[in-house]
Chains A and B, each alone.
Chain A
C-alpha cells in the first residue's frame, strides 16, 4: 500500500513539477479548516496587513497593560476553525460541553449553547476592547447548572485580562433582542457581578439605555470598549426591540434573529423590510466580512432547515453568512410583505404571519433540491 502510494506521489511530482497547485485535491480531508486553501495560499503575500492587529508578539513578562491596536484596514484576522457541536440522536445521552467556546481571534469569542441543553442552541459573542468587554446575548437557559454562561465568561475574562495585564475589565451585557427568550435567559447569572452593566429588558428602557428615545429606529448608538467601538443599529422586525451590533474590528454584523441561517419569524414585515434596507445600506458604506446570526437551523443543503426542537443536527449549515446575502434577504422580505407565507431561500427561510413550523411546497427555482440523510 505504502509502495503504491509512494509511486503515485512520485509520478504526480514528476508530471506536475512546474508548480501547479490544486487546493481542492490537497489537505487533510478530515480537516474542516480553511477549505479553500488547506495548505495555505501560495499566491498570497507572506506579510499581510492583519498581522499588526494581533497581539501574538506580547512580552514574556508583562510589566504594564497591553494596549491593543484595533484600527485595521481590513477585517481583523480570525477563523472559525472548528465544527459546531450538533447534539446527539439521544439528547439524554449527550456528554458534550454545555457551552462550546471557539476563539475567533484573540479578542473575539463565539460561544454556543449545547443543542441538548436547549434546542435553540443560540450563539453568544464575547468581544474585548482595551477598556472593557461586551457580551452579546446570553443564551436560552437560566439555570447555571445546565448552562454555566457566567462561569464560562468569567474564566474567559480572567484569562484574557491576565494576558493583557488588565486589572479591571468592565463587562457590558447587551441583547440583540431583550424580549427573546432564546437569548435573554442567561442574564440572571450576571446579577450582582461586579463591574457589569446589563442592558435593560423593557423596550422603553432599552431606548433610553442607548439614548435612542428620539431617534428609534433610524438612529444609531455606540458601545465604547476602548479602541474598539461597537455600533448599535436598531433593527426591529423579528423583534420589536431588535438591535444589530456592528463590530468594525472583525467587520461583523451581529444580527441575532433578524437575519441568520434558519427559519426567520418575521414579527412585523414593514419594520423587517426597513431594517434589512438599513443593513444593506450599512453594508454598502461599511466593510462587512460576515453576518453573524444568533442560531443555525439550516442544513448543509440549500433551502432545507432542521425542524423546530431538533436536538440532533449533524448536517448544519455554517454560521457565518456572506454580506451580499442581505440583497437576497431584502428582495425576499419585500415579497412576503402583507402576505401569510413561508418563503424558502437557499440560506434562510422567511416566515411571515404564519406559524413557526409553516411549510411550503414551493422550492426556489434553480436551487438543487437535496434531502440530507435523516438520523435514525
Chain B
C-alpha cells in the first residue's frame, strides 16, 4: 500500500468497509439520506467587525449552527480582515472541517478550542464519544487565510489533515484526474462530493454536501472580489459548476468571504468593519448570472455581476473604489 492509497482508502466511498465503524457507534445512526435537503438557517447578520479594532468585544470565532449537524464558523474581522468562513460537517463516522482561518497561533486566535467545543457539543447531543470521531481538516485552497491555524491541530488525536502542496491535496482525496474527477467522501451516511475548481489558484476544490445540498466554492466564487488569476481554468471551473447545478439540487452556494454590502457596494480589500454586510450565501440563479456575464468577458478587468465582482487578472494592481476627494 503506497502512501496515497493509505490516505485515500478509508475516505472514498466503495473502498470503505461498511461495517468498519459500526461497532464504535454508541447511538443509532443519524439519517442523512431521506428528507433532504436538510433545513437550516443563517444568522440574520454575521459579526462583521467594529469601528475600533482594539475595542472589539465579539468572540474571536463566531459559531453558527446552520442545523443540528452543520456548523459555520467565522473569524472575527478584528482578528483578521479576511474574516474567512469555516465549515464543519458532521457525519455518523467522521467530521469534516473546511478551512482553518488566517491566524496561526492559538495565543492570538484560539480556533482549536472552539472546534473541540463544537465537536463536544455535537457528540453530547448525539450520544457519541468525541474521541471516537475522526476529524478531517481540509481546505479550499492553498492561501494562508484558509489554512493558517491548521498547526493548532497538529497534536490533536484522531485528526488527519491535508498537506500544503498540490500533490498532497489531490492525493488526500484520492484523485488521479484533477480537476474533472468528482470523488465522494463518506462521513458516515453523509456524502460530500469533491472536485477540482482551479482559477483563483491552481489547487482549489469545490465541495458539495448531499445533506444540506450546500455547494461550497471557496475563493473561486464568493460574494466579493473573485480574484481570477487564470481565466481559462476559472471559466472551465465555472462550466463544471453550472453542469453540476444542472444535474444536482443546490440550496445555497457559499464562498469563503463577504466583501460586499447589501446594496452592492464594495468593501475595499483589508477593511476591518463591514457594518452593512451582504449575506454569505448566494443563490444558484446568482451563480448562473455570473456565468452569463463571464461568457461575455474577453479582457482583463473588473466586472460586477450584481452579486460578485469578477476581477479578471487584476489582483494586486487595482481596486474598485476611487479617491473620494478628487475634484476638478
Interfacial residues, chain A to chain B (CB-CB below 8 A): 89-96, 98, 114, 116-119, 141, 143, 145-147, 177, 179-180, 238-240, 265-268, 307-311, 351, 353-359, 376
Contact = CB atoms under 8 A, between A and B. Distances in A.
Contacts of B321: 355-356
Given A91-B78, A92-B78, A268-B327, A117 B55 contact: yes
Interface string B75-91: 01011110000000000
B301 interface: no
A308 B103 contact: no
Interface string B288-328: 00000000000000000000000000001111111101111
Contact of A119 (B108, B272, B318, B326): B272
Interface in B212-241: none
Contacts of B317: 358-359
B269 interface: yes
Contacts of A118: 52
A146 B52 contact: yes
A180 B325 CA distance: 8
A311 B325 contact: no
Contact of B54 (A116, A177, A357): A116
B327 A265 contact: no
Given A143-B52, A309-B268, A359-B317, A89 B328 contact: no
22 contacts: A91-B78, A91-B79, A92-B54, A116-B53, A117-B55, A119-B272, A146-B51, A146-B52, A146-B54, A179-B325, A309-B81, A309-B269, A355-B318, A355-B320, A355-B321, A356-B321, A356-B322, A356-B323, A357-B268, A358-B318, A359-B316, A376-B103
A119 B41 CA distance: 34
B103 A90 contact: yes
B53 A239 contact: no
Contacts of B51: 141, 143, 146
A-B pairs with the 8 shortest C-beta distances?
A: A91-B53, A309-B270, A92-B78, A146-B52, A116-B54, A357-B319, A94-B54, A265-B323
B12 to A, nearest CB: 35
A117 B53 contact: yes
Q: Assign chain B's interface to a size class.
A: 35 or more
A267 B327 contact: yes
B270 A310 contact: yes
Interface in B164-220: none
B60 interface: yes
Given A91-B78, A354-B318, A376 B53 contact: no
Q: Describe B's contact surface by its main secondary structure.
A: loop
Interface of B: 51-56, 60, 76, 78-81, 103-105, 108-109, 148, 268-272, 316-323, 325-328
A310 B55 CA distance: 16
B55, B109, B148, B268 interface centre (most CB from chain A within 10 Å): B55
A265 B325 contact: yes
A118 B49 CA distance: 12
B325 A92 contact: no
Contacts of B269: 307-309, 357
Contacts of A354: 318, 323
B326 to A, nearest CB: 5
Nearest to B109: A90
A95 B55 CA distance: 10
Nearest to A177: B325
B52 A351 contact: no
Nearest to B58: A92
Nearest to B148: A376
Given A95-B54, A118-B52, A238 B268 contact: no
Contact of A309 (B103, B105, B271): B271
B318 A91 contact: no
A83 to B, nearest CB: 19
A268 B326 contact: yes
A308 B323 CA distance: 13
B62 to A, nearest CB: 13
B54 A308 contact: no
A266 B325 CA distance: 9
Given A91-B78, A357-B269, A146 B103 contact: no
Given A180-B325, A309-B81, A117 B52 contact: yes
A21 to B, nearest CB: 44
A238 B53 contact: no
Contacts of B268: 308-309, 356-357
Contacts of B328: 268
Given A91-B78, A355-B323, A357-B319, A117 B271 contact: no
B326 A353 contact: yes
Contacts of A267: 323, 325-327
A201 to B, nearest CB: 14
Nearest to A358: B318
B52 A147 contact: yes
A90 B102 CA distance: 11
A90 B110 CA distance: 12
Contacts of A143: 51-52
A96 B55 CA distance: 12
Contacts of B54: 91-96, 98, 114, 116-117, 146
A265 B54 CA distance: 27
B318 A308 contact: no
Contacts of B319: 355-358
Contacts of A93: 54, 108
Contact of B60 (A92, A94, A351): A92
B270 A308 contact: yes
A94 B326 contact: no
A266 B53 CA distance: 28
A359 B103 CA distance: 26
A238 B104 CA distance: 39
Contacts of A116: 52-54
A140 to B, nearest CB: 10
Nearest to B55: A146
B318 A92 contact: no
A177 B327 CA distance: 14
A141 B325 contact: no
A147 B78 CA distance: 17
A266 B322 CA distance: 11
A116 B318 CA distance: 25
A292 to B, nearest CB: 21
B204 to A, nearest CB: 23
